[in-house]
DNA sequence: GCCAACGTTGGC
DNA sequence: GCCAACGTTGGC
């Protein structure tokens, strides 16, 4: 084994696939298919490893925010939905012999004790470097530091801040 | 539904 | 390789 645990934030639209959907999956595990952005692909293909930890983020919902923690349980492998002409994420340019898109499997570790909203994250000084909080940032796969990961988890264990 | 910020495409 | 046009993301 090489390398140490890395930390990530994965966005999902809950109308499409929520943390509760993940909880209902067999073994609470799903393949993270459908990523069709090169920067996100590079993170998945080149930097993700089994054992890495994931913040599961709900986007395009009100409010957006972090809903839970998951773990990568399978190393990156070709996203087979790109090979299927009937699939919504079909990409004819991705070939079996040279796959263009990759995915990992993730397993739910826990739903956070409470939902931590984007608005709340923005107010935390020590999180201002998070990729998520940068202006114009819309990558669906983002690296987070171990410290950022732990701060978000600890926030969820405390009561929600008063308005 | 609006629109800013990005990413992708394709003509040249 | 430039860049205008178009498409997408995602907070608001």
pLDDT in tens, A7-49: 999 999 999 999 999 999 999 999 999 999 999 999 999 999 9
Residue A144 tokens read as 């987070």
Domain residue limits, chain A = 7-154
Q: How far is the CA of A86 from the C1' of B11 (A)?
A: 31
Sign of the torsion formed by the C-alpha atoms of A74, A11, A56 and A43: positive
Tens digit of each residue's pLDDT (9 = 90 or more) over A60-77: 999 999 999 999 999 999
Chain B nucleotides near the protein (CB, 7 A): 5-8
Chain C nucleotides near the protein (CB, 7 A): 9-12
Q: With bands split at pLDDT 50, 70 and 90, how would you rate the model's confidence at A86? A: confident
Q: Which residue has the higher pLDDT, A29 or A1?
A: A29
Identify the pLDDT of residue A55. Answer: 97
Fold of A7-154: ph1033 like fold (3.10.590)
Q: How far is the CA of A67 from the C1' of C9 (A)?
A: 20
Identify the pLDDT of residue A11. Answer: 97
Q: How far is the CA of A37 from the C1' of B7 (A)?
A: 8
Identify the pLDDT of residue A1. Answer: 52
Average pLDDT, chain A: 93
Report d(CA A25, CA A122) in Å as an integer: 31
Mean pLDDT confidence for A104-132:
96
What is the percentage of chain A residues whose pLDDT exceeds 70? Answer: 98
Judge whether residue A138 contacts strand B, using its CB and a 7 Å cut-off.
Answer: yes
Name the closest residue (CA) to the C1' of nucleotide C10.
A60
Mean pLDDT confidence for A122-130:
94
Give the containing element (helix H, strand E) for A55: strand A53-58
Q: Which nucleotide is nearest to A119 (CA to C1')?
A: C11
Name the closest residue (CA) to the C1' of nucleotide C8.
A138
Q: Which of A119, A120, A122, A111 is nearest to A155 (CA)?
A: A120
């Amino acid at each position: 084994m090489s390398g140490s645990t890395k930390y990530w934030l994965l966005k999902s639209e809950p109308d499409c696939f929520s943390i509760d959907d993940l909880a209902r999956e067999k073994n609470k595990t799903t393949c993270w298919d459908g990523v069709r952005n090169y920067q996100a692909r590079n993170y998945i293909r080149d930097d993700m490893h089994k054992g890495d930890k994931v913040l599961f983020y709900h986007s395009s919902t009100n409010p957006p925010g972090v809903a839970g923690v998951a773990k990568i349980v399978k190393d990156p492998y070709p996203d087979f939905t790109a090979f299927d002409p009937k699939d919504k994420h079909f990409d004819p340019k991705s070939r079996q012999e040279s796959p263009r898109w990759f995915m990992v499997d993730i397993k739910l570790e826990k739903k956070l004790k409470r939902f931590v909203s984007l608005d709340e994250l923005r107010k935390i000084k020590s999180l201002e470097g998070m990729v998520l909080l940068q202006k114009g940032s819309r990558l669906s796969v983002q690296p987070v530091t171990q410290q950022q990961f732990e701060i978000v988890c600890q926030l969820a264990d405390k009561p929600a801040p008063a308005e």
